Homo-oligomer: A and B are copies of this chain.
Amino acid sequence: MPITVALFAKQALAVAANPLPKPTYISWGTSGPFSVGELALDGPDHQIVKDGFDRAMSTVHELKWIPAATEAPVRQFEPFPTPTGTASRRFKRQYNATEILTSVKLHVENTRATLTHAVDESYTLEIASGSDTIEISAKTVYGALHAFTTLQQIIINDGSGNLIIEQPVSIEDAPLYPIRGVMIDSGRNFLSKKKILEQIDAMALSKLNVLHWHIVDAQSWPLYLETYEEMIEDAYSPNEVYTHECLKEIVSYAAARGIRIIPEIDMPGHASSGWKQVDRGMMACIDSWWSNDVWAYHTAVEPNPGQLDILNNKTYEVTGKVYKEVASLFPDSWFHIGGDELHINCYNFSSLVRDFFDSGKGMGDLVQYWVDHAIPNFKKQANRTLVMWEDVAISPNARASGEVPKDIVLQAWNNGLENIQNLTRDGYRVIVSSSDFMYLDCGFGGWIGNDPRYNVMVNPNKTDGSFNFNYQGPGGSWCAPYKTWQRIYDYDFTTGLSEEQKALVVGAIAPLWSEQVDDTVISSKMWPRAAALAELVWSGNRDANGNKRTTELTQRILNFREYLVANGVAAAPLMPKFCLKHPHECDFYLNQTAL
């Protein structure tokens, strides 16, 4: 790291551009900005690279971005209570942008590397003092794409319509984790292709590289498969279906932006729609009442109930064929087979399972049966790295009684640090999706109807002030409260892990479950919060001194939200616009080192 921390801190105040995620190392010189001309790209003859560069440049020229929020020291306030005002003070860099940058020289070491797990995404970006050339170097074209994203964020409007870039600048950048993503859910409510592409646009801008697509669930099956055409009888409507053509377009749109799509077919739980059109006989409890009101009989965590019958041979024939066709539609080398929230009561509706239980076996044995039969079957259809929800290995009620293969990647969603600790201790690779930090759907109350818990007129804890359901409490959302960008960014998810365990954490994915999400709200619930995650897994949440830089992120994410909106992503506002324009006046603490 060739720069001193002190210099870095000083320059960060003076330079208006503030790309998100913050690069691993960035240093600005002091000689000031140059104008940006029509930049010519001198680089490898590679379609992904050329398209990526064209996109970046057309965004630069269309938006002519004026940073919406820039960093500055907190202004001086009147002391309390002496009423003598002082004016606010802002840093303003002097510059004379007569020098013009005219070319981008790009070197890609290996233009043949494909988009796969742990592909090298690093890059360097350099504008030497006085040079008219932006020099970019990357190991792969995916690193080059990230360099372009950085470049388009550091080329800004000087306020008079001229595009400038601060120089000299030196960036060395690479992600902390190979898995950096968000999860969308098109099983509870349909998501249109247009809105999915919008998520991909925002992911590319924030350097996320994995779209985990929970395609189907018990409620609907929007996925057209040639193998079982009848499954889309359980799409919400003929218009709410993903055709092969549509999937191809989404997959290639993502790939062109360096984004992998990991498909999820949730099995054997969360299963009713689609499957039941193939064979109702291999389903358990699909005609049961979910029975949250009579807990002894409850068959599902949410309506509607349904699980594939683990002991029915037909299950393996059908899931195998479905897996095979889905694998053919999604070229990524990883495949998510679900595995969460199996309910024992649901299997009471299967005579096969009842007999199994009568023979002295338990739920763990049943889950082990699934692991032992389903996984080899899937591997035979298409050899992918399999991802499962952590439940199969760690759920108190429904974990496998024996061995879960260690090459399965487990996605940790429950109990925060504790489950990450336990799963990595047992040698599993882990994707972090802790609900207490990263579930973007939390805090919107409950979506279940006929719920008398809301019918409370007076705070029952008025006197002692403690939180209850309707007053400061969850209000029906099981994972309340809403996860703010600060909550997400503050998450130190490797706390307490050994170096060996840390190496097993492959990254993080923020899920946006869609019981209360469809096209109208997906972007505003996803963004800009997912950008806080993006920086967390790209360059971390700490500054060069090891202190959390959440407060430093403030102006960066406020600007980035406006940038997303300008790029057609309907991201939600985080604060009054006043706060964008008055750095840190909307902070909780005046002390900027509070966090």
Cα separation A163 to B247 with both chains bound (whole Å): 36
> Beta-carbon contacts of A416-451 to B below 8 Å, as 1s and 0s?
111000000000000000001000000111111111
The residues of B that contact A592 with a CB separation of less than 8 Å are 450
Residues A594 and B452 in contact, CB atoms below 8 Å apart: yes
A481 lies within 8 A of B476 (CB): yes
Interface SS of chain A: helix, strand, loop or mixed?
Answer: loop
Q: How many copies does the complex hold?
A: 2
Cα–Cα, bound, A587→B289 (Å): 10
Find out whether the CB atom of B573 lies under 8 angstroms from the CB atom of A521. Answer: yes
Is A459 an interface residue when CB atoms closer than 8 A count as contact?
yes
Q: Smallest CB-CB separation from A571: which chain B residue?
A: B520
Q: Contacts A459-B416, A482-B445: A450 and B516 contacting too (C-beta < 8 A)?
A: no
Cβ contacts under 8 Å, A455 to chain B: 486, 490, 548, 550, 595
With an 8 A cutoff between CB atoms, is A470 at the interface? yes
Residue of B446, B450, B565, B572 near A484 (CB, 8 A) is B446
A214 within 8 A of B: no
* Known contacts A449-B554, A521-B524; is-contact A491 B417 (Cβ 8 Å): no
A349 within 8 A of B: yes
A467 touches B470 (CB 8 A): no
B467-A468 in contact (CB<8A):
yes
Closest to A524 in B: B521
Q: A472's closest neighbor in chain B, by CB?
A: B474
What distance in Å separates the Cβ of A595 from its nearest Cβ neighbour in chain B? 4
B77 touches A578 (CB 8 A): no
Q: Judge whether A567 is part of the interface by a CB distance below 8 angstroms.
A: no
Contact B572 A520 (CB under 8 A): yes
Question: Which of A38-46, A80-88, A122-130 touches B?
Answer: A80-88
Docked complex: A540-579 residues within 8 A CB-CB of B: 548, 550-551, 554, 565, 570-579
The 7 closest A-B CB pairs, nearest first, are A475-B481, A450-B587, A445-B484, A219-B578, A81-B348, A467-B467, A77-B289
